[in-house]
Amino acid sequence: MALLQVENLKKNYQKKIALQGIDFKIEPGEIFGLIGPNGAGKTTTLRIVSTLLGYDAGIVKLDGFCARENPDKIRELISYLPEDAGVYKNLKGTEYLQFIAGFFERGQKKEEMVARGQKIADLGDAVKEKVSSYSKGMIRRLVIARSLMVEPKLAILDEPTSGLDVINSREVRKIIIDSVGEENGILLSSHNMFEVDSLCDRIALVYKGKIIATGTPDEIKSKWGMSSLEEVFVHLVENSENKTDFKES
């Protein structure tokens, strides 16, 4: 059984069509990426899966539970990290992790969760310093650790390396890869084609609320005979704008 199943998902914002009926699934042990430009529908999809937004039509199931019928159960199984996730900068890194862990566990289990968060963030002695002294990369590692230390069935990460330099981006990608086991998965969004090419097991290219291609990065590049996802994406978008058929065969 798929860990996450999304079928014919539709969402409108008043007169604006955000999602036009998208379909994808995530298997256990998989990192799945939604990629596309700003406004393509990636964040809307993540928020719907996270139960932060309702939807007009379609099916969203996580671990067999329907998001519409069992939103509280879905929330128990996920963690959601928005692109603009903030932190309490007056706290030390350890204090911040303890604060978040307190919403989930008590006693020894809480301390184990905090220790797991410290290991994931891998900030060394800096974890004992105030977050106000952290660089942007350090803050991002801390909030990703916050999201992953709860050991969610599905971690949902919106633009996890947004605004980071090459070194910090690489470190964050390693954290994400190392967090995936046989029974959990990750759904992430990005507009960085290189990043998802190296990070994701499978991806969906999203444009104007539609999925215009899906598969492994290598499958997608091979199918259209191109060397990069960026080339494939531009090709498909240009065809769609010219009203030619860009659906997968």
Q: Each residue of 45-71: pLDDT tens digit? A: 999 999 999 999 999 999 999 999 999
Per-residue model confidence (pLDDT) at position 237: 87
- Pair 155, 3: CB distance under 8 Å: no
Least confident of 3-17, 138-152, 229-243: 229-243
Report the alpha-carbon distance of residue 41 to residue 23 in Å, rounded. 13
Q: In angstroms, how far is CA 217 from the centroid of its own chain?
A: 17
Q: What is the mean pLDDT of the chain?
A: 92
Element (H, E) at 6: strand 4-13
Instruction: Tell me the chain's radius of gyration from C-alpha atoms.
Output: 19
Q: What average pLDDT score do residues 228-245 get?
A: 80
Alpha helices in the chain (DSSP H): 42-49, 71-77, 93-101, 107-121, 136-148, 166-178, 193-199, 217-223, 229-241
pLDDT tens track for 94-131: 999 999 999 998 999 999 999 999 999 999 999 999 99
pLDDT(162) > 80: yes
123 to each of 29, 133, 213, how far by Cα in Å? Answer: 26, 12, 38
Question: 1: pLDDT confidence band, cut at 50, 70 and 90?
Answer: confident
pTM of the model: 0.91
Closest CA to 145 of 137, 163, 166: 137
Q: State the pLDDT confidence band at 85, using cuts at 50, 70 and 90.
A: confident
Q: What is the DSSP letter of 120?
A: H
pLDDT of amino acid 248: 46
CB 186 within 8 A of CB 180: yes
219-227, Cβ contacts within 8 angstroms, sequence gap of 24 or more: 223/248
Residue 77 clears pLDDT 90, i.e. is over it? yes
The tens digit of pLDDT for each residue in 179-223 reads 999 999 999 998 888 889 989 999 999 999 999 999 999 999 999
Could you tell me if 192 and 163 are in contact, meaning their C-beta atoms sit under 8 angstroms apart? no
